[in-house]
Chain A
Amino acid sequence: MQITENLLIALRSLAVNKLRSILTMLGIIIGVGAVIALISVGQGFESYINQQFASLGTNLLFVVPGQLNNSGPGSARSSRGAQPLTMDDAEALRDVFRVPDVAAIAPAYSRSGLAVAGKKDTYTTVDGVTPEYGSVRNFKVDEGEFISNSDVSGRSRVALIGSRVAKNLFPDEPYIAIVGQTIKINDIPFRIKGVLTEKGGGGGFGGDEDNVILIPISTAQSRLFSAPVVRGSYVVSVIYAQVVSEDAMDVAADEIAEVLRERHRINFKDDDDFTVINQADLIAVFGDITAIFTIVLGSIAGISLVVGGIGIMNIMLVSVTERTREIGLRKAIGAKRSDILSQFLIEAIVISIIGGAIGILLGVLGSVLIGNLADMTTVVTPGAVLLATGFSLAVGIFFGIYPATRAARLSPIDALRYE
């Protein structure tokens, strides 16, 4: 029979049984909506994590003093015999012959401090850094300039402030007007040399990266915080090493360890008194976590699709059974088996498509809503939409066609007599 004719029959019988049609659709709506919303949350979480790592810098190794042990987060480092890392250590790691797989080294000396500008003040992290820090840690300057080599050698009192600091200290001023002003950090005046580009995603790893002040490392060590001197060199908090490529991460970590063990005169049989943390390892761990998260959300969504599918099945079975007499009548006045089948097929498709469309709409709305409430970007992927609609379509067709086939095979009189 012509498709349009069947479409009309299907639409008419859907309109005649509005409540039943809506109930059937409900299963699809909930299933499709849940899959789309939940998968979008999972994907959003994943891209949030990835973005956090990207803002940290790429191909990074973190070298910190002491040995990270596995006895729990409370006792992160055993202090026994641990030597601090120094500027000379960092300098030694710049040796391209001994550490060929490291592209850049950026030591940092970090403390917290009170920054004051006029009547406003704010507590922030104050990082003493070198010029390499910008590219290694992925800090960009929105207005002004980054710390230069001469700033470091001259122990200049210059500072770059993060966007949060700028907002706290100079709420309404444009960045261009902030540059050149003076702030006091722990009572010592600094000239603002630039404002950092906002990194966003506040409260990720390593704290809020917009609530920072960067100053020359030499200034931090000697003028602001009076850092300890070990073996004739200022102590640093951490040494960042940017590795030439992702594949070289492990090799580079070994190269660094070898140089530092020699400098710290560690015996062959003793453990390191420092730790090289591999960013790739962290990413892998978090990758596992996000994968599990997505799987859990996906299964919840899958369960709701299955429940929705059972709902569809139930109502389709009831509907076809209840309409056995109608099928009998249609056959009695000349409908062929194929007419009956295509009528139910089209009905099932119409229900699935309308229900699926509403489900997609609600799923997208839900994902936007969750995104707003949880302050994260949720991603609705075409794959999730396809999966959800495909599944509900298949369920609708299968559970519509199966009983319809049975009914269409009945002799008209058996179908008509059906109670």
Chain B
Amino acid sequence: MTEISVIEIENITKVYRIGDIEVHALRGVSMQVRERELIAIMGPSGSGKSTLMNIIGCLDKPTDGQYLLGGQDVGEMDDNELATIRNQKIGFVFQNFNLLARTSALANVELPMVYSRVPRKERHRRAIAALESVGLGDRIHHKSNELSGGQQQRVAIARALVNEPSIILADEPTGNLDSKSGAEIMAIFQRLNDENGITIVFVTHEPEIARHTRRIIRLADGKIISDEPVRQPKLAGKRAYSVRARDLTE
């Protein structure tokens, strides 16, 4: 494992203002994520996990503090540069999937490449490859509403990795799924992390899911209260591959 930090945040705060009331969602968070890490973020509801993920994902801006992504100061970037970061460097996976309605899995996965001007043929090829790598090679023409929750989340993961980002961020990716589908997602994450060297940070409430990582960061009330390694990471890999093989032969 190298010691290069891909994500470096320093004393990040986030204050939401609703009328006269100030909500301190983050009260000075500092952390570093090294290349090829697989991290789970945990914490009670309202502790600021989503807020943190959105800031790391360049979807939102901190009220104060510094954020270096691959050594670059994100605070200095304009809208278009941030869009390029979201498109090229970071793949984001949402709890509620956020697929385009009534649109095929293929078109959904192609979308990030549309915005990076990948030629159509190549787009097609890469989208199919990404869908196959999450075990959905036989579902490419299904509309998003014709897929199960687990399948929709796998489409979302395919979409997140199709532009070959170095980081994948996921906010409760298994939150809406049963434990079996959750394990499938974990298997995919472990493989992407292990084989493709993608840095992955995700939020979860479930200790079982968190144990698939090598590091768990706990938040409470807008602050990091613990940051410790997992002694015996659970491996979902074996099962995931068998699942994938079964999916393909179905």
Contacts and interface: CB of A to CB of B under 8 A. Distances in A.
Interface of A: 1-2, 5, 9, 12, 16, 325-326, 329-337, 339, 411-413, 416
User: Which residue of B59, B92, B101, B103 has the most chain A CB atoms within 10 A of its CB atom?
Assistant: B59
Contacts of A411: 59-61
A12 B143 CA distance: 13
Interface in B106-127: 107, 111-112, 114-117
B115 A329 contact: no
B159 interface: yes
B244 to A, nearest CB: 25
20 contacts: A5-B114, A9-B114, A16-B102, A332-B57, A332-B59, A332-B86, A333-B111, A333-B112, A333-B115, A333-B159, A334-B83, A334-B84, A335-B83, A335-B115, A337-B79, A337-B83, A339-B115, A411-B59, A412-B60, A413-B54
Given A329-B98, A336-B115, A411-B60, 15 more contacts: A1-B114, A16-B101, A332-B92, A333-B115, A333-B159, A334-B83, A334-B87, A334-B88, A335-B83, A411-B59, A412-B59, A412-B60, A412-B86, A416-B59, A416-B94
Nearest to A412: B59
A118 B98 CA distance: 91
3 closest A-B pairs by beta carbon, nearest first, are A334-B87, A334-B115, A413-B59
Contacts of A326: 100
Interface string B130-166: 0000000000000000000000000000010001000
A411 B101 CA distance: 21
B110 to A, nearest CB: 11
Contacts, number: 62
Interface string B166-187: 0000000000000000000000
A335 B86 CA distance: 9
B232 interface: no
Contact of B98 (A334, A336, A416): A416
Nearest to A416: B98
A413 B86 contact: no
B2 interface: no
B101 A332 contact: no
A325 B97 CA distance: 12
Contacts of B94: 416
A2 to B, nearest CB: 7
Contacts of A331: 83, 86
Contacts of A12: 103, 107
A92 B134 CA distance: 108
B80 interface: yes
B107 A333 contact: no
Nearest to B111: A333
A176 B100 CA distance: 78
Interface residues of B, number: 28
A1 B117 contact: yes
Contacts of A330: 111, 115
A411 B57 CA distance: 12
Contacts of A325: 98
A296 B111 CA distance: 51
A106 B101 CA distance: 81
A331 B111 CA distance: 11
Contacts of A339: 115
B50 to A, nearest CB: 9
A326 B57 CA distance: 18
A328 to B, nearest CB: 8
B116 A334 contact: yes
Contacts of B102: 16
B85 to A, nearest CB: 8
A336 B79 contact: yes
A336 B81 CA distance: 9
Interface in B65-103: 79-80, 83-84, 86-88, 92, 94, 98, 100-103
B115 to A, nearest CB: 4
Contact of A334 (B54, B86, B107): B86
A323 to B, nearest CB: 10
Contact of B60 (A335, A336, A413): A413
B219 to A, nearest CB: 18
A329 B100 CA distance: 8
A379 B91 CA distance: 60
Contacts of A336: 79-80, 83, 115
Nearest to B87: A334
A324 to B, nearest CB: 12
Nearest to B160: A333
A331 B83 CA distance: 7
B174 to A, nearest CB: 19
Contacts of A2: 117
Nearest to A338: B80
Interface string B49-61: 0000010010111
Contacts of B101: 16
B92 to A, nearest CB: 6
Given A12-B103, A16-B103, A416-B59, A332 B115 contact: no
A20 B116 CA distance: 29
A337 B84 CA distance: 11
Contacts of B84: 334
Given A1-B117, A12-B103, A413-B54, A334 B112 contact: yes
Contacts of A9: 114
Contacts of A335: 83, 115
A309 to B, nearest CB: 28
Nearest to B86: A334
Contacts of B107: 12
Contacts of B98: 325, 329, 332, 416
A1 B100 contact: no
A413 B86 CA distance: 12
A361 to B, nearest CB: 29
A32 B55 CA distance: 48
Contacts of B86: 331-334, 412
